Structure 1
Amino acid sequence: MFKKLASDALGLSDIGKVIEPQDYDKTESDDYVLYEKGEKIYFIIKTKADEYCFTNYALVHVDGDSALSKKRTLKRYDYKYHPIRYVSLETAGTIDLDVEIKFEIGGIPFSIDINKSYADKIRDLYKSLVTIEQIMRDNEKHRSNMLDSIDSAQKTLSSNGFSQGQSPAESYKAITEFTHTWLKNMSDTYSNSDFGHVFDLFIKN
């Protein structure tokens, strides 16, 4: 008994396992998924203290203070507002008991140890997160180019003066409305909120 408590206190027993789809409803994170808005669970890792629930919209983290405490804090990281970066996977050595997946989401670092018996499943999650990171980086580049384009267009309009037949106020209003609409359309094009298509590609539930 003492050995078990010491192991829990030191975090030595906090190696995660992958939850099967038929058991999602037995997890805490399942209660906080926005099913009403079309959110779907694709992957859950459960440790003694935490749950890491990957949906098409977000990472839902049920954060435990320690393996000995029942207190939990719910943290939600929507992909639309929290970009994924620096995804890596540390595979198990000969005597290792676990594999480790690492990433940042919204600048918050995560490092999750998982029993190496789930190595194949973790590879699928790794591929999904890497692909999402690539899409996010491409979108960021497109948004930067978009802002450069609108800046160039505004400078051209300013140098050519206002449109003939329109007052300065009318021209300014037309340019402002066009710019707002154009930026919104481009932002919607290069800002993903739903990555279900990526998870579907690699994870077969």
Structure 2
Amino acid sequence: MGFINGLLGNASTISTAEAREELARILLEGENVNAAFKLVRDIIVFTDKRLILVDKQGLTGKKTEVQSIPYKSISRFSVETAGRFDLDSELKIWISGAEVPAVSKQFKKDESIYDIQKALAAVCM
């Protein structure tokens, strides 16, 4: 079901082991993965030190942008849930001093956006 959810734009939870394997070259020694979510090919990872956003680009996904955001830099975030006619949910994250969101991710109507919001609230509050 994870593949189908990914194609539909729904976020799905991935195991911390899978996230550690995916980010083996990026994680610091001793850095622990607390939660991870997959959105099509992109990954949102919460570690004990930072938020890591992996954006796989191109047809093959070989080109990858990795954005690392220390939790202390997140000034606010918002979650816009899907409505009756608007089926998309949206996550926005602002970095200290920025007027526009540094991160904006689209989700289809699903419940994972609430899990991501809870994970953000836990590390930012």
Fold conserved between structures, TM > 0.5 = yes
Question: For this pair of structures, how many residues does the alignment match?
Answer: 116
Equivalence for 1:77: 69
Deviation for aligned residue 1:89? 0.8
1:27–1:112: structure 2 CA closer, same or farther, 3 Å change rule?
farther
Q: Deviations over 1:152-191 (max 9, x none)?
A: xxxxxxxxxxxxxxxxxxxxxxxxxxxxxxxxxxxxxxxx
Q: When you count helix as a share of all residues, which structure comes out higher?
A: 1
2:93 aligned partner: 103
Map of 1:178 onto structure 2: none
SS in 2 for 1:32: coil
Report the counterpart of residue 60 of structure 1 in structure 2. 52
Structure number with higher strand proportion = 2
Query: TM-score, normalising length from structure 1?
Result: 0.45
SS in structure 1 of the partner of residue 118 of structure 2: helix
CA positional deviation for 1:71 = 0.7
- TM (norm. structure 2) is 0.66
Q: C-alpha offsets along residues 1-30 of structure 1, whole Å, 9 cap, x if unaligned?
A: xxxxxxxxxxxx682422332662486335
CA distance in 1: counterparts of 2:59 and 2:41, whole angstroms:
5
Going from structure 1 to structure 2, the CA distance change for 1:75 and 1:101 (only over 3 Å counts) comes to closer
Q: Deviations over 1:57-80 (max 9, x none)?
A: 111122333456421122322224
Between the two proteins, what is the percent identity of the paired residues?
Answer: 28
User: How has the CA–CA distance of structure 1 residues 67 and 58 changed in structure 2, closer, same or farther, with 3 Å as cutoff?
Assistant: farther
Read off the aligned partner of 1:89 and give its amino acid letter. Answer: V
Q: Distance in 2 between matches of 1:113 and 1:122?
A: 10
Who is 2:117 aligned against?
126
Deviations 1:76-129 (A, max 9, x none): 22224xx11231111111244442221123546111123333x1x422331342
How far apart, CA to CA, are the structure 2 residues paired with 1:69 and 1:25? 16
Query: Does residue 86 in structure 1 map to residue 76 in structure 2?
Result: yes
Paired AA for residue 103 in structure 1: I
Q: Tell whether the 8 Å contact from 1:46 to 1:52 is kept in structure 2 after alignment.
A: yes
Contact kept, 8 Å, 1:50 with 1:63, in 2: the verdict is yes
CA distance in 2, matches of 1:97, 1:67: 26
- Does the Cα contact within 8 Å between 1:16 and 1:115 map onto a contact in 2? yes
Aligned-pair RMSD on alpha carbons? 3.1
One-letter code aligned to 2:15 = P
Distance 1:33 1:94 in 2: 40
| Conserved? CA contact 1:42–1:56, under 8 Å | yes
Larger Rg: 1
The equivalent of 1:196 in structure 2 is: none
Gaps of 5+ in 2: 1-6
Please name the residue that 2:36 is paired with: 44
